Amino acid sequence: MDEVVELAIRGKGAAVTATCGEGLIVECHHLFDLREILGVLKMRIGPYTLKNNIVVAPMAGVTDRPFRQLCKKYGAGMAVSEMVTSNSLLYGSSKTIRRANHDGEVEPISVQIAGADPQMMAEAAQYNADKGAQIIDINMGCPAKKICNVMAGSALLQHEDLVKRILEAVVKASPIPVTLKIRTGWDKQNKNAITIAKIAENSGIQALAIHGRTRACHYTGDAEYETIAAVKDQIKIPVIANGDITSPEKALHVLKKTSADGVMIGRAAQGRPWIFREIDHFIKTGEHLPPPSIDEVEKTTIEHVTDLYDFYGEDSGLKIARKHISWYTKGLKNSAMFRAKMNLINDNQEQLNFIKEFFESQKQISNFISYEDILEPA
């Protein structure tokens, strides 16, 4: 069976054929279909076999420990942390210490690091491994100006030699597996994802996540799934497709379109962590799960907000909770008025009570979540 799996990963073109040890020939149109037939949809990174191939994208200010734990509870196979600086001068800051706190987190624990200096990045990998990280992810995909202005994130894609030096330094220094997240290139005239992917594989990177846009595109336009497919065709390490995946149908479409080993969900999970179980169920059965009940969404929101209080402290937790509460309620009837009032509350118990009151009003409309508008892309 291992031989067949390897052949599936190496297959190219529209049709894929594999022969197992007993002489059975399996032929299908996509690598995804072959993996599905053989029951090998789970993805492996170093010693870790993920429970499925659905990953939470790293998002600054979002994928803190409470959010990662919540997404894993709802079925994500792995969740990548918000990026941690490679500047050792900031290791003692409360923010860095908090981000290195993985108490009670479900394995595997993946921590993303960002920076442009090979030695500092290597030291950051060692530091986070010592603090409990089990996988190090390198950020070469963030399009934010404040990151690119210091030649980190997706700005690094302009400098292939520096990319190589950073990857080699981190892999050499890290006692745990190293993964990489990139975009398709710097701009539409400079797409070098295939070159970067080959550098990554040759440097010892163990999985590659690709957001299907260039840095210049930010989050506008359609994701380039054909570019992700081209990268998958050229390398053997697992490839994770990211960009515009907002539904179970879209996740399955992207897996088949790109032959990627997994999908990565970002903004579509904000206020909707159950999207992971919905995608997992749809991929495995071709059927939709019913929408979550109002009771479940209320319970999830309350538990998430309470976890934020515990993690950040009551004052900071209350303020950070506002955006999550907004995401949980966006698109629900009368939610705009609710959010406006919510943002004026400065007492923790009052915030919790107001959440409960809102969801009680929703139960008068329906027992299940029903959105009035369309969710934004991931």
Asked if residue 233 and residue 145 are part of one domain, the reply reads yes
Asked if residue 199 and residue 62 are part of one domain, the reply reads yes
Whether 176 contacts 136, CB under 8 Å: yes
Whether residue 19 lies inside any domain: the answer is yes
Domain with 90 in it: what CATH number? 3.20.20.70
pLDDT digits (tens, 9 = 90+) for 41-66: 579 999 999 999 999 999 999 999 99
In angstroms, the CA 325 to CA 317 distance is: 12
pLDDT at 120: 95
Asked if residue 314 and residue 219 are part of one domain, the reply reads no
pLDDT at 38: 42
pLDDT at 36: 54
Asked if residue 353 and residue 229 are part of one domain, the reply reads no
Whether residue 235 lies inside any domain: the answer is yes
Choosing from 252, 285, 318, the residue where a domain stops is: 285
Asked if residue 205 and residue 112 are part of one domain, the reply reads yes
pLDDT at 27: 54
**Virtual torsion, Cα 30, 232, 73, 372, nearest 10 deg:** -70
Asked if residue 230 and residue 96 are part of one domain, the reply reads yes
Asked if residue 143 and residue 83 are part of one domain, the reply reads yes
User: Model pTM?
Assistant: 0.88
Asked if residue 149 and residue 30 are part of one domain, the reply reads no
Asked if residue 206 and residue 133 are part of one domain, the reply reads yes
Give me the number of domains the chain comprises. Answer: 3
pLDDT at 33: 56
Q: Which residues are part of the catalytic machinery? A: 142
Choosing from 285, 306, 330, the residue where a domain stops is: 285
Whether residue 147 lies inside any domain: the answer is yes
pLDDT at 29: 52
In angstroms, the CA 303 to CA 352 distance is: 10
Whether residue 369 lies inside any domain: the answer is no
Choosing from 285, 320, 344, the residue where a domain stops is: 285
Classify residue 119 as exposed, middle or buried by CB count within 10 Å of its CB (0-12, 13-18, 19+). Answer: middle
pLDDT digits (tens, 9 = 90+) for 117-148: 999 999 999 999 999 999 999 999 887 777 76
Whether 166 contacts 116, CB under 8 Å: yes
Q: Which domain holds residue 57?
A: 44-285
Positions of the chain with pLDDT under 50: 1-14, 19-23, 25-26, 34, 37-40, 374-378
pLDDT digits (tens, 9 = 90+) for 19-49: 444 445 445 555 555 455 444 457 999 999 9
